[in-house]
Structure 1
Amino acid sequence: MAALLINRDKKQLSEWIGKDCHFKLLYKISRDGCTPQKFHELCDNKGPTVTIFYNTDNNVYGGYASESWKSEGEWYTDKNSFLFKLYTISKWQPKIFPLKGGKTSNLYFDSGNGPQFEDLMSFENKVDSTLGNFSLNSDNMFESRYYDSKNEDAQSIANGHNNVTDMEVYLIKDGLPVSWRQSPAWEEQTLHTLKDSIRSFSPLKDSNVSEVNILLVGHVGAGKSSLLNTINSIFRGEISSRAWTGSSQHSLTTSFNKFRVRDQSSGNFLKFRLCDTRGLEESLGIKNDDIVYILDGNLPNNYKFNPVAAASSDINGFQKHPTLKDKIHLVVFVLDGSTFDVIPEGISKKLMDIREMIIDRGIPLLVFATKIDKVCSLVDENVQEVFHSQAVKEMVENIADSIAIPKAHVLPVKNYEREGCLETDVSILALNALKQALVFTNDFLENQCELLEKGATQLNVKD
């Protein structure tokens, strides 16, 4: 479940704390349950933390503790702690409420409580969710007894209550980790912007192509069909399963399928097709001749592969004179990043053979590296760590070097496989990769149009 704290909030909190900070989500009541036991299990003895309350009237407020939470029952003085608000009824109104001079014993450590600040309690014992809300302790809330609320109170800060849809506790680490690739803003607005960009995508007008064709190629179990389902789920608005997925010794995809993706909000098909193929295997599987026919636009949609023999020009629906709209405009190698180091030699050779076919035709190539949650445990906990993870960085570099493509052309993604609902972070990563793919398809179409124009010019000269 995605964290709710966005980049603007983190920047403001870092300013108040007095240094650049990295925020790692430790505890989230809607995910982990609203019990003192779970809070202390996940948050005790970790170091400085920020606790964020999101109440039902869209007020966001909380407290910073420079000391670790503990289970021992005692009051503690944390002179560096402070309370704050970030939003009032969804409006960005950040304000810090520092500890008053001379005040002591402002934090309470006890195994029977959640995070407890004087002037801002959380919960005691277990609190059950009612219709997605948690009724937390509002005693002495923002009464300015210990923390200077600066002429504000519980009413102006939180509409007078502490009923929340969620509460999060973040570990504060010194210094922002070095990002090996620019990270998107992990927030809803980014997701909306990406979706709008892809909705508005159109193939290059001069190409007379109505939909671009993106070919997915990968070994069995790499996640080709799961990637297709992930993209379809995002635009459908819920987890869907258009293509067969699962664990199998051989490919569950047996046909060449050119999937269209419908945007649920408009009912219109988006202007690309994701072309799924039989998975690569050392013995059985898709043949090189099949790939040639697919790249060149000869094979019909829904052609069923013969695992022991390549396609021929005699098959029903074979396109003998394909046009640009029939051809593949981009190839995506879908590779399991967690097992790429041990990919069988026969599969590696097939990938390199396909790469040569792509180069010969001037078709752009991207790699979508899947299963990044298995590459790095930090990413498994929080997808936002993907561009800070050294393990993912090394995986990307290894794939790029092995396939002999630029590192920027290897894009980490996480498919929807175990999730029961859509998550903002996972969707942003997938759409970021898809957007790059669409840019490359228009690059290819631009090149093809120039070649056609050059050919026509040469014919005119000869005439």
Structure 2
Amino acid sequence: MNDTSSLLKEIGLNICGHTDKKSFNLLYRADTEVKVDEFHSKCDGKGPTVTILYLKNNTIYGGYTSEDWSSERRKTKADKHAFLFYKNDHVDENCDFIPIAENMKSKAITCDPNFGPTFGWGPMFTKSYDLQTFKKDSKSESECRDGSLILNGAMNIGCAYKTQSRKIRRDIVSNLPEEKGARGTLAVPEQTHVTDPLLIKRIVVYQVVEKPWRKFPTDKELQEMKKRLEDFKPVPGIGIKKYNILLLGAIGSGKSSFYNTLATVFSGSVKLHAPARGAGRSDTNETILAYELKSESGKHLNLQIFDTRGFGENKGYNNELEKILNGRLPVEFTFPDQSAPVKEDELTHASLEKEMHMVCFVTGTSNLDTITNEQRIQINDIKACVNRKGLPMVAVVTKFDEFNESILEDANQVYRSLEARNAIKRVSNFFGIQEKYTFPIVNYINDEEIKEGNDRLALQALDAMVRLTNDYLENLKDSLQGKETEEMKKRLEDFEPVPGLGIKKYNILLLGAIGSGKSSFYNTLATVFAGSVKSHAPARGAESSVTNEVHAYELKSKSGKYLNLQIFDIRGFAKDRGYDDELEHILDGRLPVGFTVS
């Protein structure tokens, strides 16, 4: 960690009561020239900021305010959270903090169109401040000389910011630069006064923001994510062409709006394919609907989004959900007004391609506050049904733009909102879904233009869904292959020869060159059914054949049951060793087991 990182970490901890919740965005930096107008253009109205002066003698001074800087004339602002600080510019040194005096909290900072960052307010008519970095007056705001930036500001710590520590006051004085125009004394008991100029190496102003509670992708990562989703292919070898994602949620939770948001993200223009309304009614028309996603170039993604009616007090999926998950209810199936068993003629043939591969719960930020006990039971029944199927589940939380205007204007602010994080935790706990698979979403509702923040949140959610679905289907593929192997093995152990032909076993003859592995192949078959490694037939390499006689081997299961198969093995052939007339007799069954091939 460098010196600046160490300092910012200490400042962040001091702001938050020793919890690391803040991050810092650079707003303003100067090391050759300062301009009051540039400071105001970059820093006014940016909320909490920290100003840092790196002095010529490797000492750091600065101040923090939670209030906005502004260009109002001689406007003092109250800020009980404001403080000044100083530190030796060394990573091992601790930062000392000087709080605003209790009776001076109304004069924490002074804003003026002619002032740079200015902290405190001196006695009437003195025009002195605890820390004034630079200003517009008869003197130049700054001058660059001999590698230093000379500011026309001054420090007079002790006007509004005070400390009872004699050590801190003494250290401040002793660390100030003893340059021409600077004066001070080690014995200053209450105030530390330094007239202009201030000799510094640089000045920086950082915006102080909440540290994102979840990492969000950079613009480059976002484009890569979008391209990956547009190009992804389903897990091969299981007979499916698209991943099916089922949206479930209460009436008015934002399911249809979430699909519209996804469609907007990939098409590059605001889409409203799925009708969306508020919480008064569900506009999925009581049917199962399937939507596709299409890229800006017209390419269809290998995804289908399934939407069903929202559930409510008297509307659920008691008879339908399991069949939806198993792909037995067709698209446009209409839910009955009254709960009733699904008729057999309404069901379709089940297949993995028609099944749901992922379930996404959609809920608003405030939905949980209005859920009744009956609905809780309903949701628990839904979760139990999904869990029995073993499907991956995520939760999408909508309507974060209702929290505050900053999120409405820029959805990226969701990750800096403590209120938003608490909402995610509540939803995660309620549905029993890991917090990392609970995603905030700001849907496109009345928007006419694309918003990068909305896209970012939606892409993160969908990318995670596809990755989870991929893992689920990869595991299912392994399971299916293992299941298919066991079914095949059982079928071979139980098979009976075609009746009416007078045969009890099927005879299979192995032919091959010397050393081709005929005997080893039989041993492998014997091992598969026995459940342990077998070497009934002697095997060698390519140099010689050890099978000179006609051999007949049987296969026996682990339970001791003989399969209705006989494996016949004979000598391997070579350039000067064939079967002459023996092969025809072997095929006709005229040569007995044990016959020696010449």
Matched, 1:287 2:317: yes
CA 1:263–1:381: 2 relative to 1, 3 Å: closer
Partner of 2:308: 277
Q: TM (normalized to structure 1)?
A: 0.65
**Identity score, percent:** 23
| 1:410-441 alpha-carbon deviations (Å, 9 max, x no partner) | 11111111322111111011110001101111
Matched, 1:256 2:288: yes
Tell whether the 8 Å contact from 1:204 to 1:446 is kept in structure 2 after alignment.
yes
**Alignment map for 1:428-447 (pairs within 5 Å):** 428-447=456-475
**Alignment map for 1:357-436 (pairs within 5 Å):** 357-375=385-403, 379-436=407-464
Deviation for aligned residue 1:100: 7.4
**Alignment map for 1:207-218 (pairs within 5 Å):** 207-218=238-249
SS in 1 for 2:319: helix
Deviation for aligned residue 1:303: 1.7
**Alignment map for 1:194-213 (pairs within 5 Å):** 194-213=225-244
Paired with 2:385 and 2:48, the residues of 1 have a C-alpha distance of 54
Deviation for aligned residue 1:381: 4.9
| 1:76-131 alpha-carbon deviations (Å, 9 max, x no partner) | 2557589xxxxxxxxxxxxxx999744548xxxxxxxxxxxxxxxxxxxxxxxxxx
Tell whether the 8 Å contact from 1:372 to 1:413 is kept in structure 2 after alignment.
yes
Deviation for aligned residue 1:178: 4.1
SS in 2 for 1:76: coil
Paired with 1:208 and 1:25, the residues of 2 have a C-alpha distance of 52
Paired with 2:327 and 2:381, the residues of 1 have a C-alpha distance of 18
2:376 to 330, 345, 348: 348
1:221 to 247, 252, 270: 252
Aligned length: 347
Counterpart of 2:296 in structure 1: which amino acid? Q
Counterpart of 1:295 in structure 2: which amino acid? L
Partner of 1:3: none
CA 1:24–1:242: 2 relative to 1, 3 Å: farther
Partner of 2:536: none
Partner of 2:193: none
**Alignment map for 1:147-162 (pairs within 5 Å):** none
Greater displacement, 440-449 / 363-372: 440-449
Unmatched 5+ stretches in structure 2: 10-21, 28-36, 52-62, 74-111, 118-131, 136-143, 154-199, 493-598
**Alignment map for 1:239-250 (pairs within 5 Å):** 239-247=270-278, 249-250=280-281
Q: Which has the higher contact order (CA 8 A, sep 6+)?
A: 1
CA 1:456–1:243: 2 relative to 1, 3 Å: same
SS in 2 for 1:335: strand
| 1:304-351 alpha-carbon deviations (Å, 9 max, x no partner) | 2223234624455x31x3110010000000011223222232222222
Paired with 1:300 and 1:278, the residues of 2 have a C-alpha distance of 14
Tell whether the 8 Å contact from 1:76 to 1:104 is kept in structure 2 after alignment.
no
Tell whether the 8 Å contact from 2:267 to 2:294 is kept in structure 1 after alignment.
yes
Tell whether the 8 Å contact from 1:219 to 1:281 is kept in structure 2 after alignment.
yes
Q: TM (normalized to structure 2)?
A: 0.51
**Alignment map for 1:68-79 (pairs within 5 Å):** 68-72=69-73, 75-78=114-117
1:233 to 249, 261, 264: 264
Counterpart of 1:239 in structure 2: which amino acid? V
Unmatched 5+ stretches in structure 1: 1-13, 27-35, 51-64, 83-96, 106-147, 149-169
**Alignment map for 1:158-173 (pairs within 5 Å):** 172-173=207-208
CA 1:103–1:416: 2 relative to 1, 3 Å: same
**Alignment map for 1:25-44 (pairs within 5 Å):** 43=44
Counterpart of 2:271 in structure 1: which amino acid? S
